[in-house]
Amino acid sequence: MHGTGKDLGHFSEKVPPQALSQARKVAAALAKTQKVLVLGHVGADGDVAGSSLGLAQALRELGKKVTVYNEAPYPETFHWLAGGKSVKHELGPRVRFDATVSVDAADPARLGKHFPDPERRGTFIWVDHHRIDPPPGDINYIDLTAAAVGEQIAQILRAMKHPLSKKVAECLYVSLMTDTGTFRYANTSVRAFNLAGELVKSGVNPWDMTEKVLESQAPQRMLLLQRIMPSLFLSGCGRYGSFYVRQIDQKAVGAKLEHVHGLVNHIRATKGVEVAAIFVENDAGIKVSFRSKGHVSCQPILKKLGGNGHRNAGSIVLKGSKKQVVAQVYQALELAMPQRT
């Protein structure tokens, strides 16, 4: 969960009682397993990578046989994490697990094409900080007040009385630092800081993490930024702006989706800008992603365009020419801006 969020209990140091008991149920179920599958949403981010690999590492320390699966490779900036190079992208048709743990998925439809059938997945454990109704797991641990799923994994390990190794702590730190925008977003709660402190005590070196995750961007990312800079648009009112990423530019520098991710934040970081958009051409159409500072919701913008999203972020794929799509999006943005008084 990103950006500004209200009513999330930022100042409470306590995990909600319901979340505590759900974490205990997950811990009890995992204690009985031998063979565990851990997976997260496709297009993995730092929370998926950190929370899945952190849980997997801890379970391996407990002697369990763990497979981490994702349809596509994790972004390269996370490959150095424990087990980061052994993520599987396929699962044999006959493999069976005692339990399957889904982290940060938001929707089971995002678990990838090898997500096993109910007969093969064992106990299905759903761990997430996104709202979902009805919860899809046999056991569900949903905590909307968790800044990152890594926080929930830490809670599960506490319930299992498994101490944090440095390897596990690094994974959970990456989950926490990425989902809080390096402890800057509004979801950065007292609990997030407390956990960060605990992780540092367990051996995490914060600068080492920053260097590996944030100061190790692929050159393609900068080269792509150079190419899209001329597309920069700032509206007359100064409250929204955009980048346009052509397929030809992505190809020219060999950029993958992970290199596009986050470039929109340069626009949001501009003074006066409330909502930033980035248009990214792909084979299916033009994907438009929005990021808000939190004062203007992305939801009505996405709704106007025929999609769905969160207050602070969301995306939709639109069909049509560049000119049509851009005009349609600017119109939706214009309408979403509050009247000045």
Segment contacting Mn ion by CB under 5 A, of 45-53, 81-89, 180-188, 318-326 = 45-53
**29, 47, 157, 195: which one binds Mn ion (CB under 5 A):** 47
Of 39 and 245, the one with the shorter C-beta distance to Mn ion is 39
Where does this chain touch Mn ion (CB under 5 A) — which range of 66-74, 136-144, 173-181, 242-250?
173-181
Closest CA to 125 of 109, 144, 103: 103
Kindly state the smallest distance separating residue 339's Cβ from Mn ion, in Å.
34
d(CA 280, CA 266): 15
Minimum separation from the CB atom of position 314 to Mn ion (A): 15
Instruction: Name which of 174 and 332 has its Cβ closer to Mn ion.
Output: 174
Nearest approach in angstroms of CB 215 to Mn ion is: 22
Max CA distance (Å), the chain: 64
Shortest reach from residue 2's CB to Mn ion, in Å: 8
x/- binding map, residues 76-105, to Mn ion, per CB under 5 A?
----------------------------x-
* Shorter beta-carbon distance to Mn ion: residue 47 or 249: 47
Between residues 47 and 170, which has the closer beta carbon with respect to Mn ion?
47
Count the residues of the shown chain that bind Mn ion, applying the rule CB under 5 A.
3
Closest CB 179 distance from Mn ion, rounded Å? 5
How far apart are CB 94 and Mn ion at their closest, in Å?
32
Residue with the shortest CB distance to Mn ion: 47
Query: Is residue 151 a contact residue for Mn ion (CB under 5 A)?
Result: no
Three-state SS sequence of the chain = CCCCCCCCCCCCCCCCHHHHHHHHHHHHHHHCCCEEEEEECCCCCHHHHHHHHHHHHHHHHCCCEEEEECCCCCCHHHCCCCCCCCCECCCCCCCCCCEEEEECCCCHHHCCCCCCCHHHHCEEEEEECCCCCCCCCCEEEECCCCCCHHHHHHHHHHHCCCCCCHHHHHHHHHHHHHHCCCCCCCCCCHHHHHHHHHHHHCCCCHHHHHHHHCCCCCHHHHHHHHHHHHHCEECCCCCEEEEEECHHHHHHHCCCHHHHCCCCHHHHCCCCCCEEEEEEEECCEEEEEEEECCCCCCHHHHHHCCCCECCCEEEEEECCCHHHHHHHHHHHHHHHCCCCC
CA 140/CA 146 separation, integer angstroms: 14
Q: Which is nearer to Mn ion, 71 or 104 (CB)?
A: 104
CB of 191 to Mn ion, least distance (A): 14
Q: Near Mn ion by CB under 5 A, which window of 26-34, 44-52, 186-194, 273-281? A: 44-52
Span from 39-47, 202-210, 213-221, 242-250 in contact with Mn ion (CB under 5 A): 39-47
What would the x/- binding string for Mn ion be over residues 175 to 204, using CB under 5 A? ----x-------------------------
CB of residue 165 vs Mn ion: minimum separation in angstroms? 22
Nearer to Mn ion, 104 or 249 (CB): 104
Q: Which residues bind Mn ion (CB under 5 A)?
A: 47, 104, 179
